[in-house]
Structure 1
Amino acid sequence: MAQKSDLAVVKTDAGLVSGSTNITGDIHIFKGIPFAAPPVGPLRWKAPQPAKSWAGVKQCTTFAASPMQGKPDPFGVYTREFLIPYEPISEDCLYLNVWSGAKSAAEKRPVLVYIYGGGFATGGAAVPIYDGEATAKKGVVFVVINYRVGIFGFFAHPELTKESGHNASGNYGLMDQLAALKWVKQNIAAFGGDPDKVTIAGQSAGSMSVNCLVASPLGKGLFQQAIAESGASFISPRSNPELQQAEESGVKIAQSLGAHSIAELRNMPAAELVGKGQAHPIVDSYVLPESIAQIFADGKENDVPLLTGWNEDDAFVGKLKNAEEYKKQIAEQYGTNAAAFLQLYPAANDAEAETSQIRINRDQIFGMQNYTWANVQSQKERSKVYVYRFTRRLPASADFVKYGAFHTGEVAYAYDNLKFLNRPWQKVDHQLATTISTYWANFVKTGNPNGQGLPAWPAYNASTSQIMILGESPAAKPLPDQAALNFMVEQARGK
């Protein structure tokens, strides 16, 4: 069927879709396009199946349901703009959204596919700060996808492994992401996108997902570049447990629910399953044949340019200890290495001890993961890697200012979406959002964030350790806490 030049109606593999336009009429917006069949009933805990075709033109003007999860009430610094809508939430969630400024299908604009965070237990494509209009205005086709989370996306069980056809279970959320990328490969040209110029991007669990997709043999050819904001799985073995361990956990979950078979579990109402068990990718021998660290060590990853980094206050800390309690804990935990540790994370007084504890949490959960990824990739001297540190302390009321450059704080800047947050933004914030979002768009277009009028961002290498500090005055500087990160990595690997 001939494609209308203005993308008013677009032909996909499963049928025709229509969308809407933004207020200025230069961006076409399609919300809730199905990329796979609803994973419900007998399809619960199965690899995503092809979307059913439809007759006529499907109107794609409203967001589809977010994946099944708990009630998305605000918490900590995370106000409504960071969370999915309260409704709808459903197992029937395998949909994606597209923003395109293309005037015709012939344009072949570069594509960014965004993968949300939320600890693999929450999140969805309808979160306000994932809006794609501003990025689309920069010449990029922006796609944000849903994937199953929680027990629905990451449940392993021996019975599921046996029925799978590839002797694996547990990584359904990752398989959803791969199915969405296959949809993009097959359909995005009709939206004016280039199926051979796709960048996957994500933050937190979305960044960990990007790490998994770069490592997975199933990701081969589905993307050409990667953006990973605050998240990877290189160091801790808990990040990617083995299939047998995950299956044993799955058996215990089934027992706790009083279910004697997968059939019984599939018949249970979704609401009864929410919040049961842990949710994270596993080494399943299929999506992830080995640990991510081993896949990279063997050179079996998908070799693509990488833009990665983390935030100054990327931390989730509970009650902070005073200086004496902190030093006692470090002595018990690190023994003969405690003195060296306290030089890097000092505690001359209670305030310094609190700062050190926040830095430790940041470096253990996020910093050393993305740092290790950057080092591993740069040492191979193949595709380039660009590293950042987001340092802008977001302006806020007294309730929120304490969180500083908090986890997820950079996302609204990266996609130029400050307008969705009710914050006392200053001129420097709007300037920073323009700078960061232009770096991101340039990387999507060329594999290099640099461009006219921007501070030069050198490619990263372990010897000079130059990274881009994304703060009030963006500039390239040596990684400020390299010694501490090296120490953390050595300690983690030595255990």
Structure 2
Amino acid sequence: MKKISAFAGCALLVAAAILFYSFKFKTVIIVLPGTIHVDGGEISGVKSASGDVMSFKGIPFAAPPVAGLRWKAPQPVLPWAGVKKCDAFGPSPMQPKPVPFGVYTNEFLIPEQPIDEDCLYLNVWAKNTIGVKKPVFVWIYGGGFGSGGAAVPIYDGEALAKKGVIFVSINYRVGVFGFLAHPELTKESSDKASGNYALLDQIAALKWVKKNIASFGGDPGNVTIAGQSAGSMSVNCLVASPAAKGLFNKAIAESGSLMVSNPMIKSTNLHDAEQQGIKLAAALHVNSLDELRKVPTADLMKIPGGYAPIVDGYVLPEPVSQIFAEGKENKVPLLIGWNADEGFVSAFKTKEDFIKEAKNQYGSDADEFFKYFTAGTDEEAARSQTKLSRDMIFAMSGYKWATLQAQKAKEPVYVYYFQHKLPATPDFEKYGAFHTGEVAYVMDNLKFLHRPWKVEDRLLASQVSGYWVNFIKNGNPNSANLPAWPKYNNSKSQVMVFDNRAMHKRLPDKEELAFMLKRAEK
């Protein structure tokens, strides 16, 4: 018998120790930095500069939704030969060229290239350690359902992976490619529905995670879905959808839901969406699905936006708010919140015009309206218009979701209010705690933004990301080294306020939100 070399002997001892550790403690060994098998074949990733995190970018989770698969539910991924190098993001979904505006610099935007209909890719960041199965965090980007992508710099997953979670970011179709409905599309679908391709993409990605994430050291039984803006609205839809049942265990919603009618995101029913599809086909002078699927991408990109999730009878069998009111949603712990200054106002009205319009709109409730939205000067009226926009687009719907969860659901809800004003040059100071401003703190990714960060910013990023990681792990944001964050209930209404530091207090503007919600539901 040949003697075993010292090197081979050591390798066998290490392997035996790993196997013992694995079976005893039910661990999963991440095969890094070699190859990992996923649906479709073998992939390889890239080791971080620190050496303790591996990233796998541009993993296909479905077949390219092009040609005959345009406006179809995502189909199984196509297999490949050899080892696919997953070292770069896949194309972002088809959308207009990203252009920085206002406070939104390039760090908040997808790269200019590549952008393509072939966009169904996801990315994984995993810490290169041996240990118990890690909780999984699935990030769904925002962009008004018309733009966005997983390759946005501030969505980098390395920092959270270092904190012990498997970070997954996914792409989904947007705009006309993600939401076009048409009677013929409905007819050909096995689900007898059309239009919610973006949500079906998200569900397909979650199914991929369920099936494949253990290969990266992740626990398929401990998955948190999270999103911001339209991504948060997507989370709201997934929690409501029977088609997503069993694919996740917790939800995080940052600035967005469809619990209340939204002036910017107009959800509709299948019939009305199909009628819009008929008009689109007529405008393009096409008479069949085959012709529609052959329309050049550039021509489709000329079509005005305004697409949103559809009550299609399958992904969303009823309006989201009705599903929650009837207690039919997927029951999961929820972390939800919004930002202090995230209203959108294109042009401010003078105090006189604001007062006149409010009196016309609110009638007998105008006096109460002006208790919350004062207009003593033009400057005060401008601040009230921003706050009113914030309430109508983001805060009111989030407040309703939190209120219903606290009132009806057995699972806990934790509410935050982000009011920390991001440091900025004088031109941008006025934006304060703007829409999306919290994301870099959540991801602990301040390094991706070129701003005059202070010590309190770095401390806040450590705290906020710590709360998120705790919730991802346990469904509870609390730990011994962080200020206590109480569960939300409708009597005390305690929320975590993020300013220069984290502190729980009564929900700011609660009476205002209750008034606005009452008005909206009249």
- Compute the TM-score of the two structures, normalised by the length of structure 1: 0.97
Give 2:274's aligned residue. Answer: 247
Shift of 1:3: 7.3
The answer to whether the aligner puts 1:263 opposite 2:290 as a matched pair is: yes
Deviation per residue, 1:368-405 (Å, 9 max, x gap):
01100000001014100000011111111122111110
CA distance 1:175–1:254, shift in 2 (3 Å): same
Deviation per residue, 1:39-91 (Å, 9 max, x gap):
00000000000001112111100111000000001112111000000000000
1:45-194 aligned at under 5 Å gives the runs: 45-104=71-130, 107-194=132-219
CA distance in 2, matches of 1:80, 1:48: 30
CA distance in 2, matches of 1:370, 1:239: 17
Structure 1 spans left out of the alignment, 5+ residues:
none
The question of whether the paired residues in 2 share the 8 Å contact of 1:439 and 1:449 is answered with yes
Give 1:311's aligned residue. Answer: 339
* 276-285 or 411-420, which deviates more: 276-285
Give 2:418's aligned residue. Answer: 390
The amino acid of 1:299's aligned partner reads: G
The amino acid of 1:372's aligned partner reads: K
CA distance in 1, matches of 2:441, 2:478: 17
Give 1:463's aligned residue. Answer: 491
Q: CA RMSD in A?
A: 1.3
Give 1:274's aligned residue. Answer: 301
The amino acid of 2:274's aligned partner reads: E
CA distance in 2, matches of 1:400, 1:345: 24
The question of whether the paired residues in 1 share the 8 Å contact of 2:241 and 2:316 is answered with yes
How many residue pairs get matched? Answer: 492
* 276-285 or 171-180, which deviates more: 276-285
The question of whether the paired residues in 2 share the 8 Å contact of 1:150 and 1:275 is answered with no
1:336-347 aligned at under 5 Å gives the runs: 336-347=364-375
Shift of 1:8: 2.2
CA distance in 1, matches of 2:30, 2:102: 47
Q: State the identity %.
A: 59
- SS of residue matched to 1:399: helix
Give 1:39's aligned residue. Answer: 65
The question of whether the paired residues in 2 share the 8 Å contact of 1:82 and 1:129 is answered with yes
CA distance 1:232–1:108, shift in 2 (3 Å): same
Structure 1's consecutive aligned runs of 4 or more residues displaced over 6 angstroms after TM superposition are none
CA distance in 1, matches of 2:266, 2:132: 40
Deviation per residue, 1:117-137 (Å, 9 max, x gap):
000000001100000000000
The question of whether the paired residues in 2 share the 8 Å contact of 1:102 and 1:192 is answered with no
Shift of 1:275: 4.9
CA distance in 2, matches of 1:346, 1:264: 55
The amino acid of 1:67's aligned partner reads: P
The question of whether the paired residues in 1 share the 8 Å contact of 2:226 and 2:232 is answered with yes
Shift of 1:103: 2.8
CA distance in 2, matches of 1:6, 1:177: 27
Identify which of 357, 363, 367 aligns with 2:391. 363
The question of whether the paired residues in 1 share the 8 Å contact of 2:65 and 2:72 is answered with yes
CA distance in 2, matches of 1:239, 1:213: 17
Larger radius of gyration: 2
The question of whether the paired residues in 1 share the 8 Å contact of 2:71 and 2:185 is answered with yes
The amino acid of 2:501's aligned partner reads: S
Identify which of 237, 249, 256 aligns with 1:212. 237
The amino acid of 2:55's aligned partner reads: I
CA distance in 2, matches of 1:460, 1:251: 45
Identify which of 300, 313, 316 aligns with 2:328. 300
The answer to whether the aligner puts 1:400 opposite 2:425 as a matched pair is: no
The question of whether the paired residues in 2 share the 8 Å contact of 1:70 and 1:275 is answered with no
The question of whether the paired residues in 1 share the 8 Å contact of 2:30 and 2:129 is answered with no
The question of whether the paired residues in 2 share the 8 Å contact of 1:202 and 1:229 is answered with yes
- Compute the TM-score of the two structures, normalised by the length of structure 2: 0.93
The question of whether the paired residues in 2 share the 8 Å contact of 1:125 and 1:144 is answered with yes
Deviation per residue, 1:332-371 (Å, 9 max, x gap):
1111111111112111222211111111000000000110
